[in-house]
């Protein structure tokens, strides 16, 4: 027979479950984005270091026309076999173009938008370097690096 | 209420709370341990970056730092006096992202780990390493060394440009040699020549145990080398490559002495220069020992200073960056096809510098 006693059991169980759920949910590990995203951080350093190195070795030359095929080949050489990359060029008027197979793509259709739309990658690292284009205006190259799945 | 019923109820409630207590303690321990590991890793990462900034990003405080250090070793300068002159122990050239190879070499070859740890005075265990991942080929012009007289050594250098490909194509010749006075070591690496094509090879003493794979792709040429040392011997491979295989008769003369087409030739020759290495290794696996790999005359491609760190530890953190490593300048007589000239050779490498810290 279920009287007042059974009702109390039911209340006790509800409270016990609530306490346990509260304790367990309160003990979730913290999230430290610096550590959890250490691969992205390393790849960001790497992307910046690659662009800087290409500039230092005159693969990207101030005041000279860019050789996109050559730049892609050198980036390929510096990235590791576990990584993939894409490049964008942004003109002085801040219109960006994807660089693929040694040529500039359509204005505004940069690789970052493609990557976001197609992959939603969480481990995408990027760096940007500013230089003088052949016309003497400031331009920039963006390099995106991510780990192969 | 019956007595048995009450006792049963106590047992059930006690069991229930016991389960709850065990569950909470277990979860608490797991979470605390996880958090503690994260804190250790975070501390190790911060320490690694700080040590990198202190040692690799700063130049030596004084020009006579090597002399002062040697005086300290000899006992004529105390650690206290050394600290008065030195606020840090840097190996940078003074330019951003650039390391002075002679300072790096001095640190690896001459500085005692005990003294260095005393100087830092922070009790951290660390490992500073460098590994070359790219090189300006023109900066490692040299002659081949005799590698059969000592333990295993490897040398990669820019050789005289002759006898490997057509003289009329603007190209470089890279020499790769491995030798030892006894067997057991194995040299493995992959070289990538961006935008280039390998147009010829010549080898000396390669046998069936020595593998060379060449792949000319759309991005550039890849050369994979796997040489096994089977006794007192020296395996040598010469590789000729170019970024433009158009025939230019007499390019060597124009490039070394000047002429109307100098600029065109120089552009091709300069684009030939930066190449990359992957997985550079000369090792005797059975002895678990790595040997020296020289670029050019005497620049070490790999090196380390510090204590070995545990692998796979949660407490381990590595901070690494790609820096230019600049060696000391020397004069060399360079031979290009039928022309000879005197050049200043300054080893210019792209290296991965890293600081590894285990807390």
Secondary structure (3-state) at B60: coil
Q: Rounded CA gap, B223 and B188, in Å?
A: 11
Model confidence over A25-43: pLDDT tens digits? 777 666 655 555 678 888 9
Highest-pLDDT range among A87-101, A113-127, B17-31: A87-101
Model confidence over B178-204: pLDDT tens digits? 999 888 899 999 999 999 999 999 999
Mean pLDDT confidence for B203-229: 94
For A113-117, the CB contacts below 8 A with 24+ separation are A114/A86, A115/A86, A115/A144, A115/A146
* Predicted local confidence at residue B56, as pLDDT: 92
pLDDT at residue B282 is higher than 90? yes
Q: Is the distance from CB of B237 to CB of B176 less than 8 angstroms? A: yes
Q: Rounded CA gap, B272 and B136, in Å?
A: 9
The answer to which of A100-109, A116-125, B187-196, B342-351 has the lowest mean pLDDT is A116-125
| Domains with residue ranges and CATH for chain A | 37-147 (3.30.450)
Mean pLDDT confidence for B102-128: 85
* Predicted local confidence at residue B222, as pLDDT: 96
Q: Output B281 or B112, whichever has higher pLDDT.
A: B281
The answer to which of A33-47, A68-82, A91-105, B293-307 has the lowest mean pLDDT is A33-47
- Percentage above 90 pLDDT, chain A: 34
Q: Do B38 and A73 touch (CB under 8 A)?
A: no
Chain A from 113 to 142: CB within 8 A of any B CB: none
What is the average pLDDT value for chain B, to the nearest integer?
Answer: 89
| Cβ–Cβ contact A49 with B under 8 A | yes
Nearest CB among A30, A32, A45 relative to B321 is that of A45
Domain locations in chain B as residue ranges:
1-42, 65-123, 134-302+332-358
* Predicted local confidence at residue A32, as pLDDT: 56
Nearest CB among A16, A32, A73 relative to B194 is that of A73
- Report which of B169, B152, B134 is spatially closest to residue B280, judged by C-alpha positions: B134
Contacts of B42 (CB under 8 A, 6+ apart): A32, A34, A35
Secondary structure (3-state) at B152: coil
* Predicted local confidence at residue A1, as pLDDT: 45
Q: Do A27 and B219 touch (CB under 8 A)?
A: no
Model confidence over B130-174: pLDDT tens digits? 999 999 999 999 999 999 888 899 999 999 998 999 999 999 999
Chain B residue with CA closest to A54: the answer is B274
* Predicted local confidence at residue B5, as pLDDT: 76
Q: Do B31 and A28 touch (CB under 8 A)?
A: yes
Model confidence over B27-52: pLDDT tens digits? 888 888 888 877 887 888 888 999 99
Orientation of helix B3-55 relative to helix A4-26, angle to 10°: 10
DSSP state at residue B82: H
pLDDT at residue B278 is higher than 70? yes
Specify the pTM: 0.85
Q: Rounded CA gap, B268 and B161, in Å?
A: 15
B-chain CB neighbours of A19 within 8 Å are: 20
Model confidence over B287-320: pLDDT tens digits? 989 999 999 988 999 999 998 876 555 567 889 9
Q: Do A50 and B322 touch (CB under 8 A)?
A: yes
pLDDT at residue A141 is higher than 60? yes
Longest CA–CA span in chain A (Å) reads 93
Which of A11, A26, A71, A74 is the mutation pick for testing B, counting most B CBs within 10 A?
Answer: A74
The answer to which of A85-89, A120-124, B14-18 has the lowest mean pLDDT is A120-124
CB-count burial class (<10 Å; 0-12, 13-18, 19+) for B181: middle
pLDDT at residue B327 is higher than 90? yes
């Amino acid at each position: 027979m279920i009287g007042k006693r059974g009702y109390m059991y039911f209340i006790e169980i509800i409270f016990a479950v609530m306490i346990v759920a509260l304790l367990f949910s309160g003990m979730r590990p913290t999230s430290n984005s610096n550590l959890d995203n250490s691969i992205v951080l390393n790849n960001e350093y790497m992307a910046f270091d690659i662009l800087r190195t290409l500039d230092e070795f005159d693969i990207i030359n101030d005041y000279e026309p860019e050789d996109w095929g050559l730049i892609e080949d050198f980036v390929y050489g510096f990235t590791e076999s576990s990584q993939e990359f894409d490049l964008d060029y942004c003109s002085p008027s801040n219109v960006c173009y994807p660089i693929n197979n040694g040529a500039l793509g359509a204005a505004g259709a940069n690789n970052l938008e493609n990557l976001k739309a197609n992959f939603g990658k969480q481990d995408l690292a990027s760096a940007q370097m500013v230089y003088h284009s052949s016309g003497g205006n400031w331009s920039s190259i963006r390099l995106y690096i991510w780990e192969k799945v | 209420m019956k007595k048995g019923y009450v006792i049963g109820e106590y047992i059930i409630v006690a069991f229930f709370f016991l389960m709850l207590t065990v569950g909470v303690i277990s979860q608490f321990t797991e979470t605390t341990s996880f958090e503690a590991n994260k804190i250790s890793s975070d501390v190790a990462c911060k320490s690694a970056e700080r040590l990198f900034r202190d040692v690799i990003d700063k130049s030596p405080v004084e020009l006579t730092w090597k002399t002062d250090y040697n005086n300290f070793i000899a006992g004529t300068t105390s650690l206290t006096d050394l600290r008065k002159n030195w606020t840090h122990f840097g190996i940078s050239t003074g330019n951003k992202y650039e390391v002075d190879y002679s300072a790096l070499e001095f640190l690896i070859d001459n500085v005692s780990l005990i003294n260095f740890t005393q100087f830092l005075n922070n009790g951290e265990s660390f490992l500073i390493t460098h590994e070359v991942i790219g090189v300006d080929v023109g900066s490692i012009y040299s002659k081949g060394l005799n590698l059969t007289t000592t333990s295993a050594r490897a040398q990669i250098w820019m050789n005289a440009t002759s006898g490997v490909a057509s003289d009329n194509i603007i190209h470089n010749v890279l020499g790769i040699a491995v030798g030892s006075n006894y067997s057991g070591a194995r040299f493995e690496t992959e070289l990538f020549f961006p935008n280039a094509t390998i147009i010829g090879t010549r080898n000396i003493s390669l046998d069936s145990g020595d593998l060379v794979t060449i792949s000319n792709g759309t991005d550039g040429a890849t050369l994979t080398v796997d040489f096994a040392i089977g006794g007192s011997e020296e395996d040598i491979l010469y590789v000729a490559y170019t970024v433009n295989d158009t025939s230019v008769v007499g390019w060597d003369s124009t490039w070394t002495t000047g002429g109307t087409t100098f600029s065109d030739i120089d552009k091709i020759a300069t684009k030939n220069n930066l190449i990359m290495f992957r997985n550079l290794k000369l090792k005797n696996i059975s002895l678990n020992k790595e040997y020296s790999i020289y670029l050019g005359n005497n620049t070490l491609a790999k090196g380390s200073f510090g204590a070995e760190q545990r692998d796979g530890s949660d407490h381990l953190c590595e901070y690494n960056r790609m820096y230019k490593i600049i060696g000391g300048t020397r004069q060399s007589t360079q031979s290009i096809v039928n022309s000879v000239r005197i050049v200043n050779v300054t080893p210019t490498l792209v290296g991965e510098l890293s600081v590894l810290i285990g807390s």
